[in-house]
Structure formats: structure tokens, C-alpha cells
Chain A
Amino acid sequence: MTKAKIKKDHLKLIFDRLKTSHRIIGPKVEGNVIVLAEIADLRDIPAGCKEQQGRGTYRLGKNSSQLSVASSQIFSFSVGPDSFKRFMSPPVRENFAFKKSKKGISISQNSSQVREISTAFIGMRACDIAALRLLDKVFLEGPVKDAGYDSLRRNSLIVGINCLYPGDNCFCSSMDTGPVIRDGFDMAVTELDDSFLLEIGTVRGREILNGLPIDEVSDKDLSEKVSKIEKCKKMIKKSIKVSELPWLIYRNLEHPRWADVAGRCLACGNCTQVCPTCFCNSSYDNLQLSGISKKLPELSGARIRTWDSCFSTNFARVHGGNFRPSRRARYRQWMSHKLAYWIDQFGSPGCVGCGRCITWCPVGIDITQELEALHAR
């Protein structure tokens, strides 16, 4: 069994089954934005919501006729600012705790960072799953395996949703990462008109369905899925020509457009925080005030790793100088890394076409347009 079908009302059965053994993370409305958070009830999912996304804008509303979404749809919305990144490589993480005394230093690894609770991620999109696979390359396939990421990754169950209604800034079809989920899932769900089509990716995904009332999948269901995905692809407005990468950027590292975008960019780093593949981080020592005393131990604290951004002023700072003081260089670093360097480093572009950086840029800089502008001489 690799495919199954369930009635729309029976989605709750799957949810309840997952809930017995997993912490469930899924889409939820918080502060008028769809974020990813722990959800206790299936009703937390913003069924039928549709957001309007533009360059630097995001408006959440109930789906209306002008958005051309079928009224019975539950997963009519697309991606918000959150992605897997927040959970697999948390924004703040403890590397180790230390104590320093006259006798020396002692370093202990905090066991609490290794969460053994299984987490089920429901409603993940094709772009997010593609991004997760990119993060795997960074954190697991380098010279040293990131143990914290590894354990969080192992304890996760991924229930993906095939996008049928793209966001306004999406361009996954041109990055070849979506809208249909091809691999990297435990279960992939397609919302058909009157039922859910379930594709099983792993044994763990199959186990969820044990004993649940499932129906046979007909050819008609499969062709309905294909036609819905094709319709979705047609609705995607933005695109990037991947065949031009990385050379379009390598040839244009001194293009006047970098100075132009630097005039608009605030170097706030929003794009790097919402990007599902931006992985840069910084480690620093967090000292406990109580730890500094004249008695032993002289000093105690923890080494903390936090997300950082190549837009931070001091990101490339070394003693006596900064390699990237200008905003022009920092924007260039970000975009060149995403669309060019990444190909050399990990074999594919670091962009999955989710469009988050366009939506959440306070001044509405559009990466697809900035790339296009490099063509101009």
C-alpha cells in the first residue's frame, strides 16, 4: 500500500492517532499570520483561509470568491514566515555549559537539548521539504555532523500537503522543488474535492493508517490530483531561470545593480530569518551573573548558538577589520550565496522558491527581479 484515500471528515482520525504519540506542529493563526506552532486540535488549522501576499505585504483573510479557491477547501492557504528551520535548528540553542575555576575548566553537554519527544509536522509544503533536504546537506553531510540537528531530525514525522493554491510570491515550479511533493515525506496529502488522497513515503507513515477507515484509490483520483497540480503550476506567477545559475551571478559580481539594491535594502535581515535554508549562526558565551563570584567555581555559563544573518554589520568581522562593511556587499553575499555559491557548495541552489523573502522584506525587494536585473548591462 503506497496510496490510500480517506473521507474529509476522517482527517480528524489521523490527527488523533498522531496526537497519541507525537507533539504536533502545524499551521495556526497567531497575530493575524499563519505560523507554525504546536496545535492541540484540528480546528486550530486555519481551514479555508487565504492570504494575499505581495512585495512586502501579507494580509490574511477568509477565502473569498475573488481568490478563486473552492469553498470546501481546508488547505487553501500557503506558506507563512515560519519553516522547519525553526524546529530543526532552533533560533537559540545551547552548545554546552561550562564552569571555570582555578583548577581548570569543565565542560558539560546539556542533555536537555536532545529532545526525545517525536514531533509530527503536518501541512508542510513541497518547498519546505526541499529546504529541509538542503539543511540536511549543511548540518549532516559536512565534515562534522551536527548532533542536535540530527536528533531533532530523526524524531520528526513529516506529513506534507501538496499545494493547490500557490501564494502570490511563490516560484517553486521554476526551482523544481514544487508544488508537488516528490520525496522526503512520511505521508503526502492531496486535498481532492471530496476526499484526501494519501501517499505513503515510509513505514512510519503507513503505521499511522493502521486500522483507520481508508478507501481504495481509483485512477480518477490520481488524475484529479495531476490536474489540480497542473492548475496550481499555471497560477504561479514568478520564476527564476535556473539554467542561468550560477554564471549569471559569477559574471556580474561588480554589476551596478548591487549598488542600486543596496540603496533600498535596510540590511534588517528579515529575508534570512524567514528563509527556510539560511543556516548562518553565531556562538557566544552567556555568563550567569550568579556564576561570577570570588568563591569557586569562579565562573559559569553556557555557550549559546543563535541564528545570525550575513546582513549583520559584524558578520564578517575579524580583528582589526570587517570584510563586508557595505550593504552592497552584504546583499550581494546573501543573494550570491543563495543562487550561486550554494551550487558549488552543496550541488543545488539554496533557494527553494517559497517567496518568503519577498513577502517579509519591509521594502519589498524581490529576489526574482534582482536576478533578472543582472541581465541589464
Chain B
Amino acid sequence: MRVRVRLFARLRDLAGAGELVRDLPEQATVQTVWNALTTEMPSLREYERTMSVAVNAEYSRMAAAVHDGDEVAFLPPVSGG
């Protein structure tokens, strides 16, 4: 299956792109997506303990299942206001 990955702020800068497409095995979770990304780009790992994740623009968890066509986002600590 294929998912769209969104990265924001410094995570986007580290990856050099805000939007990526990745092919994953069936039964994948948000964690699977993150593992694929950090294998390619180890520098992203610094956010593992501080980031939030979202699936289809709803806050989610690393253990959540992802499905074909989903949008999975990784969000550094926020600084709005």
C-alpha cells in the first residue's frame, strides 16, 4: 500500500521535503512509516520522543494502523500563538 507522508517545520527542513510518498507492507502502523523514514534519514530520530503524529489530519498514535491512501504527518513540538 501507499501512504502520503507530511513533515513540518524543522522535520521538513531535516528531510529536505514536506511531502513524501512511501510504499509499505500491509498491516503497517504509524510506527512502520516512521521506521522507514528514519532508516533513510537517521537525523529525524532526534524527534522520536517529542513529536506528535496525525493520520488524515487527526491526532493519532504510533501504534495506529495506516491504510492505503492515508496521509501520515509527523509534527515537531508546536510554537503557535
Query: Does B associate with A?
Result: no
Task: Name A residues whose Cβ lies closer than 8 Å to a Cβ of B.
Answer: none
